[in-house]
Amino acid sequence: MLQETLNPGTSEVSQKTVARATRKTGRRPSSIVFDVVLHFILIIGAIFMAAPFIWMLITSLESTSQAFSVPPTWIPNPFLWGNYPQSLNALPFNLAYMNSTIVAVSVTFFQLITCSMAGYAFARIEFPGRNIIFIAFLATMMIPFQLTIIPIFLTMKELNLLDTLLSLILPPALFSALGVFMMRQFILGIPIELEEAAIVDGANRWKIFWQVILPLLKAPLAAWGIFAFLGQWNDFLRPLIMLNTPENFTVPLMLNQFRGQYATEWTLVMAGSVIAVVPVLIVYILAQRHIIRGIAMTGLKA
């Protein structure tokens, strides 16, 4: 205060400098500092998130001695590209890939249909007890999977579906509470006038859903499709309980076969894991724009 009193021009010069910088960049210096700190934190978080995948990739190109060397070997010397064909030839990975693809694609397809239809029903169709049923439906998300696996196992046994791919497809393909919730929240944001116009034109509920609502659900359907696909592709516990025959094993179960009684070929496990991740990674990269848009547009509107 005393300095401003003795040098009144100093404060004015500082204010003019800040104002000039603000006009030039359109943002205040404090906002720029905040963005720099935020991006730094995000970069550090991204490095930590990518570290396991990078470590898996490095280990898949190393020998067993290099994989367990201390200090760790960050650059394989030499690069053992032969781990990949050795991993594919050691076990019938072609069957595991086919089984995982059949299960993941089937479950994803049926969940997209059931979740979108149920979401539309909860969002637009008035029927007695709709809100209570929806709350009870969401309450199933709080039930751990470990509590339901025994009834599912007994049901599949009574239907003679154990040790078949149908035992992995039928239970999760029937419904998904989280998927229904996502579709309902998105549909609530669609203007009701579109449906009213379709009703005036003589469309029924079924036609409104397929020709008006469903084309507008591309973003949330893409987002949930990736989530459902990843969940089924990486599922280990359900196939471990339901399947016994190696010909029906999925990719996670086939990778588990590298674990021996006395030793584990970790380099082959990592090579197989990289091979298993690549298709999902490609799908995610191609669909990430739809995934982000679907999540962002699926709000929490009640």
pLDDT at 140 over 90: no
Average pLDDT over residues 165-174: 83
Q: What is the pLDDT, as a whole number, of residue 13?
A: 46
For residues 180 and 291, membership in a common domain is answered with yes
Assess whether 153 and 260 both reside in one domain.
yes
Is residue 133 one of the residues assigned to a domain?
yes
Domain range for 34 is 2-59
DSSP state, 78? S
Q: Which of 59, 77, 106 is the last residue of a domain?
A: 59
- Do both 12 and 112 map to the same domain? no
Q: How many structural domains are present in the chain?
A: 2
Q: Is residue 105 part of a domain?
A: yes
Q: What is the pLDDT of residues 105-137, one digit of tens each?
A: 999 999 999 999 999 999 988 888 888 999 988
Q: Which residue has the higher pLDDT, 240 or 261?
A: 240
Burial 86-124 (b: 16+ CB within 10 A, else e): ebbeebbbeebbebbbebbbbbbebbbebbbbbbbbbbb
264, β-bridge pairs: 259
Kindly state the average pLDDT of the residues 160-188. Answer: 87
Q: Quick one: pLDDT at residue 117? A: 92
Q: Are residues 53 and 100 in the same domain?
A: no
Instruction: Please indicate, yes or no, whether residues 32 and 107 belong to a single structural domain of this protein.
Output: no
The percent of residues above 90 in pLDDT, for the chain, comes to 18
Give the integer Cα–Cα distance in Å for 112 and 123: 16
Q: What are phi and psi of 265, to 5 degrees?
A: -80, 85
Quick check: is 265 in a domain? yes
Separation between Cα atoms, residue 24 and residue 52, nearest integer Å: 42
Let me know whether 228 and 124 are in one domain: yes
Alpha-carbon distance of 48 to 153, in angstroms, equals 38
Q: What is the CA radius of gyration of the chain?
A: 27
Average pLDDT score over the chain: 81
In this prediction, residues 171-190 reach a mean pLDDT of 85
Based on the fold, state whether residues 47 and 149 are members of the same structural domain.
Answer: no
Residue 177 within any structural domain of the chain: yes
Q: What is the mean pLDDT of residues 68-96?
A: 82
The answer, yes or no, to whether the previous bond of 128 is cis (omega within 30 of 0) is no
Domain identity same for 45 and 103 = no
